A = this chain, B = another copy of it.
């Protein structure tokens, strides 16, 4: 078994925690002794054992002299659980192979230093790319000091998200609807603009798959919520957030209509719209590691234009609408060389639809 094989197993274990670990990362660990796997573990969520500790507890024989493979730098601080570095050394593990450093300010290299202090050999960088992708939101959040922004849109073959009359239900098929809800379940928050609230009155909850509901954010300049707005009236879990200019949001926060919504005041940009960087700064402070931008087109275009999209899902249904509401508006590109490119970029089948998944270049 090569280091890569063992790390691949750790990554597969880590993956089991998807959608359940936030604000913690997904972590998997495998302990190998004399060429055999003697223990495995993964992090199941906040308050539960870290992967390293789970693997040590699960070990069939003593881990003394073994090698531990883990996709993220072990922690060295006492949070809800004890520091992993101490548990590793106490178990007599001789070597730790790690994929990526944990950029969380409470760790950030200190885990490596502590392990070496304790006499444990440390190797880093095994399957770094895969491990970075796995925890892209967690890592992006701590490195860029802002949430990882995922943009999702469902369009026709000719790039329309709705007919000119505003009809958008449903462009994509049932398989893609599930994908959309899975994306919600794996994001800390879902964001829409006021236009989408007015046109679709969405609930932004997770329905077609299992998973917890994310925070629901509306960003607005106008604050003109229609009567019966689901995001305000169905807010029993207090997960609705309204982001708006200071003057508007203060008055709204004091009104009965707010119905427990969390209110953020956001600076206004030079274009008169809420400043997206300021908005993301608020979201960072609030601890949202990932935000799924669901529309509308105007908000999506603003995020792209501001270079603030980290990952994009474009679901394309096999139909043609002709003129209607464009998925993406003006990006001020003058020629093809100015077009936004992606790396990596993939197309994946989703029922009858095709889904493009890409990371905008020069942003990531």
Contacts and interface: CB of A to CB of B under 8 A. Distances in A.
A199 to B, nearest CB: 14
Given A156-B339, A159-B158, A334 B304 contact: no
A179 B328 CA distance: 27
B316 A316 contact: yes
B326 A158 contact: yes
B158 A336 contact: no
A164 B321 contact: no
Given A164-B334, A324-B333, A327-B158, A319 B340 contact: yes
Which of A331, A339, A342, A347 counts the most chain B CB atoms within 10 A?
A339
A257 interface: no
Interface stretch (A132-140, A165-173, A184-192, A288-296): A165-173
Interface string A318-345: 1111111011111111111011111001
Interface in A259-305: 301, 304-305
Given A168-B336, A334-B165, A335-B163, A356 B318 contact: yes
Contacts of A358: 318
A314 interface: yes
Contacts of A165: 334-335
A172 B155 CA distance: 20
Q: Chain copies in the assembly?
A: 2
A250 interface: no
Nearest to A314: B157
A352 interface: yes
A76 B170 CA distance: 52
A356 to B, nearest CB: 6
Interface in A117-169: 155-160, 163-165, 167-169
